[in-house]
Amino acid sequence: MTTVIRELGDEQRELVLNMGPHHPSTHGVLRFVLHTDGEVMRKAVPEIGYLHRGLEKIAESTTYPGYVPYTDRVNYLEAMFANEAFSKAIESLSDIEVPERAQYLRAIAGELNRIASHNITIGCITMDLGAITPFVHLLRERETINDLIEALCGQRVTHHYVRIGGVAYDADDNWLKQVEKFLNHFEAIIEELDNLIVYNEILVKRMADVAVITADDAVGFGLVGPNLRASGVDWDLRRDMPYGIYPKLDFDVPIGAGEKGTVGDCFDRFVVRVRELKQSCRIIRQCINNIPDGDIIGNVSRKIKPPKGEVYSCVEGARGELGVYVVSDGTEKPYRVKWRSGSFSAMSIIEHISEGLMIADLVAVIATLDVIAPETDR
């Protein structure tokens, strides 16, 4: 038998474990090298690059409208936001006016996408902590959203719905009614979620006070979105750097309050996402009530040639700030595209906070930080 314990010194004995790339709780092809002392970790070093598809390089040989479907693949759980971020960049580069109806449709589709993505995240958190049933129930709700989005644009996962200058298809009144019907159903499900699993004693015990990320650390490591807000930093792009139709809408931004432990622990990151579901429902209701008639796509020429220049555009995705930096050299193909994603910064903080955690805690940390492998690698 080969020996599994290596001697480091008099009192330093450690077990080096390889977690991933194939591991049920790494959610895709992630890898961690764990240095542990029995169950307690010295550190966990993340390894990325298993899912690198060269999305940024592909952009350099694709036209601007032709690159929009590629953005669906940045993160398979939030295709709407990637579409929107890229479209927004090109719109601001070449001064394209987006019709108001299209902006409302973008908000509805985006928030539906956010609910779908959070459903997966919340389900995965509970599943990684051992409760499988909530995952299946939430997946069922996501399925309805997929059906709705399929009815809207014909795609269930890689939507390609938001285009440069507007959106691809219009929604009829019947569809909006179906969305409202779904919301009536889903708001009851959120309550049920609270009753069934969120305040489950074991779940709270597993997540409260575990892997606390202070506000300073969160800002320092560039955490975004729900992860940042869970640490008590009140920052939401939809409110603080408004874009699209969001300034006209009324919604709250839930932040971590240390409900069961310290501010910025795993439970805060979990519960912030649960609270965001309700706010998304609120936003969609307002959009449905106020949506005007009109065009769904602005005056966009077939060949888009933005003037020379560069732009950074970002939207508040389900995993926080999803930004894209586009450099144009005046031709119909971008000179350079760079993506900035929430999962990448979330990965980088794991090594910092992993000291002293147990192996089971690391599973909770990965799940609550909501790391999605394709988004870290692009």
Partner 1 sequence: MNALADFIINSLGLSGLSAELVMLLLVVAVAAAVFGIGMTISGLLTLAERRVAGRIQSRIGPNRVGPFGLLQWLVDGLKLIMKEDVVPHDADPHMFRMAPYLVVVGVFAAFASLPFGQLLIASDLNVGILYLLAITSLVTVGVLMSGWASNNKWSMIGGIRAAAQIVSYEIPTALSVASIILISGTLSMQGIINEQGGWPWQWYIFYNPFTFAVFFLYFTAALAEGNRIPFDLPEAESELVSGYNTEYSGMRFAGFFLAEFANIYLMSAIATTLFFGGWQIPGVTPEQQAGSLVLQITGMVVFMSKSAVGCFVVIWIRWTLPRLRIDQLMSLCYKYLIPLSFVCLGGNAIYLLIFPKPSSANTLVHMITTLFGGVLIVIFVTRVMYHHRISGVSLDLNFLARGEKGKYNPETQVRAYGSFRKKYEKKQGAK
Query: Which residue's CB is nearer to partner 1, number 54 or number 356?
Result: 356
Per CB under 8 A, 39 contacts partner 1 = yes
Task: Choose which of 10, 174, 250, 289 interacts with partner 1 (CB under 8 A).
Answer: 174
Query: Which residue's CB is nearer to partner 1, number 152 or number 249?
Result: 152
Smallest Cα–Cα separation from 295: which of 149, 151, 166, 152?
Answer: 166
Task: Choose which of 77, 281, 288, 363 interacts with partner 1 (CB under 8 A).
Answer: 363
What are the residues facing 34 on neighbouring strands? 17, 44
Query: Which residue's CB is nearer to partner 1, number 4 or number 9?
Result: 4
User: What is the side-by-side strand order in the sheet with 309-317?
Assistant: 309-317, 320-328, 334-340
> Least distance to partner 1 from the beta carbon of 27, Å?
10
> Least distance to partner 1 from the beta carbon of 113, Å?
16
Q: In degrees to the nearest 10, what's the CA dihedral of 268, 203, 44, 222?
A: -10
Query: Which residue's CB is nearer to partner 1, number 4 or number 95?
Result: 4
Task: Choose which of 48, 50, 69, 169 interacts with partner 1 (CB under 8 A).
Answer: 169
Task: Choose which of 32, 64, 182, 221 interacts with partner 1 (CB under 8 A).
Answer: 182
Q: In degrees to the nearest 10, what's the CA dihedral of 350, 354, 358, 360?
A: -10
> Least distance to partner 1 from the beta carbon of 349, Å?
21
Judge contact between 118 and 273, C-beta under 8 A: yes
For CA atoms 39, 45, 49, 55, give the dihedral sign.
positive
> Least distance to partner 1 from the beta carbon of 285, Å?
18
What is the Cα 213 distance to its own chain's centre?
19
The site that binds partner 1 (CB under 8 A) totals a number of residues, namely 51
- Secondary structure, 3-state, 298-363: CCCCCCCCCCCEEEEEEEEECCEEEEEEEEECCCCCEEEEEEECHHHHHHHHHHHHCCCCEHHHHH
DSSP state of 246: G
Round to whole Å and give the CA distance between 216 and 104: 35
Per CB under 8 A, 136 contacts partner 1 = yes
Per CB under 8 A, 192 contacts partner 1 = yes
Question: Where in 197-216 is the site for partner 1 (CB under 8 A)?
Answer: 197, 200, 202-203, 205-206
Query: Which residue's CB is nearer to partner 1, number 39 or number 355?
Result: 39
Per CB under 8 A, 15 contacts partner 1 = yes
> Least distance to partner 1 from the beta carbon of 80, Å?
16
Round to whole Å and give the CA distance between 31 and 61: 31
Query: Which residue's CB is nearer to partner 1, number 57 or number 140?
Result: 140
Smallest Cα–Cα separation from 317: which of 346, 290, 296?
Answer: 346
Round to whole Å and give the CA distance between 177 and 181: 6
Round to whole Å and give the CA distance between 365 and 348: 12
> Least distance to partner 1 from the beta carbon of 191, Å?
7
Round to whole Å and give the CA distance between 102 and 92: 16
Number of residues in the chain: 378
Which one of the spans 90-98, 132-140, 317-325, 340-348 is the region binding partner 1 (CB under 8 A)? 132-140
Query: What residue ranges bind partner 1 (CB under 8 A)?
Result: 1-2, 4, 15, 17-18, 23-25, 39, 126-133, 136-137, 140, 144, 147-148, 150-152, 154, 169-172, 174-175, 178, 182, 188, 191-192, 195, 197, 200, 202-203, 205-206, 358-361, 363
